Amino acid sequence: MNIVTGGRILVVDDDTAICVVVSEALRRAGHVVKVGGTIAERSALLETFQPDILVTDVKLPDGDGLDDVHRISEAWPDMRVIILSAQNTLNTAVRATEQGAFEYLPKPFDLNELT
């Protein structure tokens, strides 16, 4: 995947280490990055930050990160949604695609796939 430099990217994962590593790699690649750890934080940041790209985990403390991806894709049709998941199953990948995700990356993943 080739993300245009200077994009606004929202990274949402309840694993702080993943947020730190991913956000730092994206910043070094020239992007503006915000991070969150819950669906509630994701919703608030989508409204205020208005990212070009959403990178979100499936399993979040306050719910399933895939449940509202379709709504997000409809509300922001130009925003790309990238799903991260430790649930490396075909079902999760299919669900992500059906919900409108641009990309599905199973954990662990290579940072080069995001930058």
pLDDT digits 0-9 by tens, 7-16: 999 999 999 9
Distance CA 65, CA 39 (A): 7
Instruction: Give the start-to-end residue ranges of the domains of the chain.
Output: 8-110
Which of 3.90.740.10, 3.90.76.10, 3.40.50.2300, 3.20.20.150 would CATH assign to domain 8-110?
3.40.50.2300
pTM for the predicted model, two decimal places: 0.90
Give the list of residues 6+ apart from residue 114 with CB closer than 8 angstroms, or none: 1, 3, 22, 25, 26, 55, 82, 105
**CA dist., res. 49 & res. 59, Å (int):** 22
**Is residue 47 within 8 Å of residue 21, measured between CB atoms?**
no
pLDDT, tens digit, 9 for 90 and up, residues 40-83: 999 999 999 999 999 999 999 999 999 989 999 999 999 999 99
